[in-house]
A and B are shown apart, each in its own frame.
Chain A
Amino acid sequence: MASSFSRLLTSKRKIGFLSLVGGSVTAGFLLHRDVSAGVPVRRSYPASAEYPDLRKHNNCMASHLTPAIYAKLCDKATPNGYTLDEAIQTGVDNPGHPFIKTVGMVAGDEESYEVFADLLDPIIRERHNGYDPRIMTHPTDLDASKIQSGQFDERYVLSSRVRTGRSIRGLSLPPACTRAERREVERVVVDALAGLKGDLTGKYYSLTQMTDKEQQQLIDDHFLFDKPVSPLLTCAGMARDWPDARGIWHNNDKTFLIWINEEDHTRVISMEKGGNMKRVFERFCKGLKEVERLIQERGWEFMWNERLGYILTCPSNLGTGLRAGVHVKLPLMSKDPRFSKILANLRLQKRGTGGVDTAAVGGTFDISNLDRLGLSEVQLVQTVVDGVNYLVECEKRLEKGQDIKVPQPLKQFK
């Protein structure tokens, strides 16, 4: 190993290397060229010397990035110049997470999902229960009127929330965007949001210009997002230039909220105290459609295709990007050994009330849908509605000393 390296090292790094590597790679540096999808970028070392050490890793990227796939993709770049090494950096730098198997890679732009499909497609299949983007299509359905029984028992359900993300087509995603692109995302979205009316009328608070008072209010309302500290996000480069072009928009009623340039171009959130999930979802759909109309008026659109649905930074959020959830009191359920199985069969997941990286406090859980891709928004919200109603029924039965049943597993799309 050492001797082959010293042979490589004694020649000058530039032209000598490339002729040693062989193949059809042109010698010398390519300083000025038109980059289009799949055009090779300069590489000084063979792929085997660059392949990451993933032996201690447990994330989806590490599970699927074989040396062969790495060798095939490592010289490619998207039209914006985003490379495989950049896409997988977060997975290389973060071997594993205590609670969840992380994805371990991100997209730098819409084209990442095409150019790096050889790696992303198997990851998508693993993460999204076998959904195969090469042969399946993803249904989008934002007709909230279809939701049945969407009002929960408020003695148990404390709050209801639906969130998703949207990306602006033509601009790079947070891991890769330049400052100008990020500012453009902010400009486009804030401009559009200014056109919202009625119960959606609201205001934008830029992170760079917020007053102390505004900041405190946003913290008290649990709206303010802070600079990411999770290494999963920072290693992907999405916190660069913080807090430039980041901000929060919310309506005057404080029930509809948009984060700009955090982990995605936009995160759209509808939320309320109490258990009226149907109303939360109605506002969600109405708001999303309005925002889409307003950006289209200005010549922009959301990233979407029928293979992958809505395109977001993290492959785990493809499809609907939707997480519909409640904060619900289930003290007895949480102590029942069948709790995890019941959740799994209902296609639900539990989190602490602080979000994805927290544990539950006092028997109050954040319960939400597991799935994102292959099922529509309406289907996923209905799953949450049915599931939470079932869990609350179980809790009531346990209170009365009655037994509960583990439900049959829900049929998945395949």
Chain B
Amino acid sequence: MPFGNTHNQMKLKYSSEQEYPDLSQHNNHMAKLLTPAIYERLRSKQTPSGFTLDDVIQTGIDNPGHPFIMTVGCVAGDEETYEVFKELLDPVIEDRHGGYKPSDKHKTDLNPDNLKGGDDLDPNYVLSSRVRTGRSVRGFCLPPHCSRGERRAVETLSIEALDTLSGDLKGKYYALKNMTDAEQQQLIDDHFLFDKPVSPLLLASGMARDWPDARGIWHNNNKTFLVWVNEEDHLRVISMQQGGNMKEVFNRFCTGLTKIEGLFKDRGHSFMWNEHLGYVLTCPSNLGTGLRAGVHVKLPNMSKHAKFEEVLKKLRLQKRGTGGVDTAAVGGVFDISNADRLGFSEVELVQMVVDGIKLLIEMEKKLEKGQSIDDIMPAQK
């Protein structure tokens, strides 16, 4: 519970066994790894802002499983969560991020010149291209735990910084609670507007508290660069456009992010980052780059092929419906993006998407002509 550090003192009256959650029906990373012994050792701890183990795991207790994906089942309330509760979070991170060890180092690379190609994804198949990530402002609690005062302070800082962007990044902020009906409709039509979370995964962690206070959307006048403020993370940064020019999308992404980081630093704030976990975000699944680069792509034949899943896995890609993480595909159009977040740099992940989409389109074309795809099956990346 927010501000619940005093709850922890009271809870310790009961034995660890009495408090240990019933995870017998559960299938998420937290439930797999939270043994009674770990629970016992961590339950008396709290971060300096008062975030406790039960706060970390509440969402995983309240949401035993998800139909499409293996959920993480825990969240961070602040940067220190990943230190104080490392005994649980390190194994979760290792399980979720392909064996990433506590001693591993994460590489950050936001130099778009390092990306090879990506400006020529076939627009007959690729409808749109998008790259998103998140950033947390050091010194403030994260959405599951922040108070209204903190959340508003993050918003104020963000608006101040974003207002100074210029050129093709010049834009405007729309606070959710002050938006006119006309503005709201426009944002919906542009597919920019985020709504109050309905997913119980998010609600159970406390990130929807006080909605819509201090939430908002900033976007540039060209509608190709967008920042969400105080949704699941302090900031979600999105670069997107119609068509298949992923290189341009990634260029803008890197330029914009680097500028924003500079603007925050000018005001005395860095982003949460360290050389082990990379960028620190609310959900452990978004650590490292927090990056999801993806396209909406037409693959009606490929998606019916018996080896579709296998190909995706080998390419280190994942599929989603065009409505996002909790949806199914419609009409053979898929959202295909990188599966990894941590242990690969931004450039490496976008490269995987670019190369992988090229191959998938090649396969789709072959299947259209009735040809086999066996000779172009990829090796495991």
Contact = CB atoms under 8 A, between A and B. Distances in A.
8 contacts: A13-B139, A45-B150, A49-B149, A80-B10, A85-B147, A93-B211, A179-B19, A180-B14
Contact of B11 (A89, A178, A237): A178
Contact of B2 (A14, A86, A181, A242): A86
Contact of A50 (B7, B15, B46, B149): B149
B208 interface: yes
A14 B48 contact: yes
Contact of A240 (B18, B58, B208): B58
Interface string B64-81: 000000000000000000
A240 B21 CA distance: 11
Interface of A is mostly: loop
A53 B7 contact: no
Interface residues of A, number: 53
A170 to B, nearest CB: 11
Contacts of B7: 80-82, 176, 178
Which 3 residue pairs across A and B have the least CB separation, nearest first? A81-B6, A45-B149, A180-B14
B10 A180 contact: no
Contacts of A35: 6, 9-10
B251 interface: no
Given A44-B149, A45-B150, A85-B147, A2 B10 contact: no
Interface in B315-374: none
B9 A240 contact: no
Interface stretch (B104-112, B151-159, B180-188, B278-286): B151-159
A5 B62 contact: no
Interface in B183-211: 203-204, 208-211
Interface string A4-15: 011011101110
Contacts, number: 126
Interface in B70-117: none
Given A176-B7, A235-B209, A241-B58, 13 more contacts: A9-B268, A13-B140, A14-B48, A31-B46, A41-B6, A50-B149, A51-B148, A81-B5, A81-B10, A176-B1, A184-B18, A241-B61, A241-B62
Contact of B1 (A42, A180, A237): A237
Contacts of B61: 240-241
A225 interface: no
A97 B97 CA distance: 43
A92 interface: yes
Nearest to A80: B10
A234 B203 contact: yes
Interface in A171-199: 176, 178-181, 183-184
A121 to B, nearest CB: 23
A208 interface: yes
B4 A81 contact: yes
Contacts of A33: 9
B278 to A, nearest CB: 23
B119 to A, nearest CB: 40
Contacts of A178: 7, 10-11, 14, 19, 54
Contact of A183 (B3, B18, B46, B150): B18
A241 B203 CA distance: 13
A115 to B, nearest CB: 12
A83 interface: yes
Contacts of A411: none
B213 interface: yes
Contacts of B21: 179, 241, 244
B269 interface: yes
B153 to A, nearest CB: 6
Contacts of A240: 58, 61-62, 204
Nearest to A208: B22
Nearest to A47: B149
Interface in B1-55: 1-11, 14-15, 18-22, 46, 48, 50, 54
B160 interface: yes
Interface in B138-183: 139-140, 147-150, 152-153, 156-157, 160, 177
Contacts of A49: 148-149, 152-153
A146 B167 CA distance: 82
Nearest to B44: A32
B304 interface: no
Contacts of A239: 62
Contacts of B18: 179-180, 183-184
A257 interface: no
A5 B22 contact: no
B209 A86 contact: no
A301 to B, nearest CB: 19
B19 A180 contact: yes
A9 B62 contact: no
